[in-house]
Amino acid sequence: MSQGTPVAVRARQFVPHFSGIRLLLMSVLAALIGLAAGVTAYILFVVIALITNFTYFHRFSTALPNITVNTLGVWVLVIPAIAGLIVGIMAKYGSSKIRGHGIPEAMEAVLTNKSRIAPRVAILKPLSAALVIGTGGPFGAEGPIIQTGGALGSLVGQMLRMTAAERKVLLACGAGAGMAATFSTPIAGVIFAIELLLFEFRARSFIPLVIATTLATTVHIVLIGPGPMFRVGPAHFNMINGLPFYIVLAVLCGYMAVAMCRGLYWVEDLYEKLPIDEMWWPAIGAVGLGIIGFFVPRVLGVGYGTITDILNNHLALSMLLLLLVFKSLALLVSLGSGTSGGLLAPMFTGGAALGGAFAIVANYVIPGAHLDPAAYAIVAMAAVFAAASRATFALIIFAFEITRNYESVLPLMLVCVVASGIAHIHLKESIMTERLSRRGLKIHLEYEVDPLREVAVESVMDRHPPSLSADMLVAELARRIGTHDPSVIGHSGYPLLDAQGRLAGIITRTDVFRAIEKYADQSLTLLQAGSAHPIVAYPDETLHTAVNKMLRNGVGRLLVVDRDTPDKLVGYVGRTLILNARERRLQEESETEDGWLSRGRRTSGEAESS
């Protein structure tokens, strides 16, 4: 016979609550994480510059050099390979989490490890990325910074007493702050973290996230300078006259994203087939990079300067085509080997090159087109990565933040969503989630409201549940069950009422059978065998809250009581009623209904047949 707390207390117990004090704490921690992520981004840029200057120009300087004018000759094949070997050793004996571009690893920590990231990842990831990028790796620093920022947030969450949900928010704060600190795009950093890590839009996460990205961007302004990473001059987007061209560009961007996603994992599969330890793969990929870089030096290095040149229409068509092909090829060969580096910058380069080249060719083929290559480069840069990553909204905002040109909004929206639609049609997973999917993780990146949050208990509850007298004998109820009495058939739990009709408790069939087996006393009442303190729900609560109460207390049904009079029974809700409510919502998603036009056609057809 069960014991418990009063009905009113049990009704409130176990309801999730995020207090103002916790929100204040999270906001303060987010501020610290944002500042730390900003400083980390700056340090990583400095280390990359130091390594690049030392390995390619044999000098000591913290200014990021133009790696395309190096005079290493054939040594450009050797230096990246040495760095690749070192990274392979670090991954084998340090942490395999440093492989890749960082964002899937942060997603994996959220999904499988309660947002816990090992401290060594926060150290080894930026070191390995700086080594690879500094020696010519065709990557951006943003991926490692995002993962490192996420690791910092996770570590802060692990130091203090926190829930896994709060730790996830801090991880996302660090990741979003990392992106904001890299590109000086705070709004895009917020949305990027929401779309790829949080999968929610709530005050408890949105407020700390905005604080973190704001302070990280402030650090960028102080240490690196004001303005976005890519300084873009005036661009003419001309949506009205350019609409058909933007549609064609969107299709090209969508299929480029599909090709990049499939190409990357096809290359990874090729490396998997090599008869050597994976420790050697980054070195092999680096040799391939060196060969490409020997003939096309612009593919080497972080590439932010090259992106800026494309976005300002400073490169000829021939160079744009070379970058489109060979920067993408260098990315696949290198990143597919499992080395360390960011994915955004090289895909930005390829996308921008596609857009710029498209505009130049269109102007040549159609003399009256008058397309601005810079505008099309900006739009394509965002669209290719939006389609590949499925972070479409974040990339629209990102491109708007770097242009600060309202005229860019409509082309960005159109091209990004059309390209993303094409990628959705052809790819089951994004470039971020394919690797995780291969490990058995299924990630749902689409936002939808839980149907159980939209339905109140009172709309589905049984308003006339079969109640029994609390003084009835257990033997009598057992007899009714055994004879299939209609008054007790179809229910596994029964509310118990006292002589005044007030709720006194609940008894389940399990309680009845247990009492018969355990107690020989035939005078045992239902209230003595059942529970005098049942878990209850209120009519105005959502089914989501009701389900949480069931799960936390291990019960399959709830008695529904009046909020102001807790001993007044007003209904009963069980798992079957809840599942039926969800099934009705699913039918709304899948079952089509006749519209005015289809009804008219069907009526005409029926009249003719008769």
537 within domain boundaries: yes
| Confidence at residue 359, expressed as pLDDT on a 0 to 100 scale | 96
Residues 377 and 428 in one domain: yes
| Confidence at residue 10, expressed as pLDDT on a 0 to 100 scale | 45
pLDDT above 60 for 331? yes
pLDDT class for 476, splitting at 50, 70, 90?
confident
Decide: helix, strand or coil at residue 138: coil
Residues 201 and 301 in one domain: no
Kindly state the average pLDDT of the residues 564-583: 84
Number of Cβ atoms within 10 Å of the Cβ of 581:
19
**Residue type at position 443:** I
Residues 344 and 462 in one domain: no
Main-chain phi, psi angles of 449, to 5 degrees: -75, 135
66-122 pLDDT tens trace = 777 777 778 888 888 999 999 999 988 888 888 877 777 777 777 777 778 888 888
Residues 266 and 319 in one domain: yes
Strands (E), 457-580: 468-469, 493-497, 503-508, 536-537, 557-561, 569-574
Half-sphere exposure for 67 (CA within 13 Å, toward CB) = 32
392-403 vs 409-426: helix crossing angle, rounded to 10: 150
Between β-strands 493-497 and 468-469, what pairing exists: parallel, antiparallel or unpaired? Answer: parallel
Q: Which residues of 16-51 are buried (b: 16+ CB within 10 A; e: fewer)?
A: eeeeeeeeeebbebbbbbbbbbbebbbebbebbbbb
Residues 186 and 122 in one domain: yes
411-460 pLDDT tens trace = 999 999 999 999 999 988 888 888 777 777 766 656 666 778 878 888 88
pLDDT above 90 for 201? no
Q: What total number of domains does the chain contain?
A: 3
| Confidence at residue 9, expressed as pLDDT on a 0 to 100 scale | 40
Residues 259 and 406 in one domain: yes
pLDDT class for 13, splitting at 50, 70, 90?
very low
Note whether 581 and 543 are within 8 A (CB): yes
| Confidence at residue 1, expressed as pLDDT on a 0 to 100 scale | 42
Residue 30 domain boundaries: 20-223
pLDDT above 90 for 377? yes
Q: pLDDT: is 357 or 453 the higher one?
A: 357
555 within domain boundaries: yes
359 within domain boundaries: yes
Output the domain CATH number for residue 137: 1.10.3080.10
Residues 215 and 259 in one domain: no
Output the domain CATH number for residue 559: 3.10.580.10
E strand or H helix that includes residue 49: helix 20-57
Q: Considering the entire predicted model, what is its pTM?
A: 0.80
552 within domain boundaries: yes
Domain end (from 223, 249, 282):
223
| Confidence at residue 349, expressed as pLDDT on a 0 to 100 scale | 94
Residues 168 and 304 in one domain: no
607 within domain boundaries: no
| Confidence at residue 603, expressed as pLDDT on a 0 to 100 scale | 57
Q: What is the mean pLDDT of the chain?
A: 85
| Confidence at residue 371, expressed as pLDDT on a 0 to 100 scale | 94
Decide: helix, strand or coil at residue 572: strand
pLDDT class for 11, splitting at 50, 70, 90?
very low
610 within domain boundaries: no
Decide: helix, strand or coil at residue 524: coil
pLDDT class for 598, splitting at 50, 70, 90?
low
pLDDT class for 595, splitting at 50, 70, 90?
low
Residues 124 and 147 in one domain: yes
| Confidence at residue 419, expressed as pLDDT on a 0 to 100 scale | 97
Domain end (from 409, 438, 467):
438
519 within domain boundaries: yes
Residues 516 and 395 in one domain: no
Note whether 233 and 374 are within 8 A (CB): yes
Beta partners for 2? 531
443 within domain boundaries: no
Q: Which of 97-111, 352-366, 573-587, 588-602 has the highest mean pLDDT?
A: 352-366
Least confident of 45-59, 383-397, 490-504: 490-504
Tokens coding 178: 């990392």
pLDDT class for 607, splitting at 50, 70, 90?
low
| Confidence at residue 487, expressed as pLDDT on a 0 to 100 scale | 75
Tokens coding 97: 């989490």
pLDDT above 90 for 311? yes
| Confidence at residue 260, expressed as pLDDT on a 0 to 100 scale | 94
Residues 245 and 376 in one domain: yes
Note whether 324 and 354 are within 8 A (CB): yes
Domain end (from 169, 188, 223):
223
Residues 185 and 249 in one domain: no
238-269 pLDDT tens trace = 899 999 999 999 999 999 999 999 999 899 89
Angle (nearest 5°) at CA 275 between 269 and 278: 65
E strand or H helix that includes residue 409: helix 409-426
Kindly state the average pLDDT of the residues 337-363: 92
Half-sphere exposure for 237 (CA within 13 Å, toward CB) = 20
Between β-strands 536-537 and 557-561, what pairing exists: parallel, antiparallel or unpaired? Answer: parallel
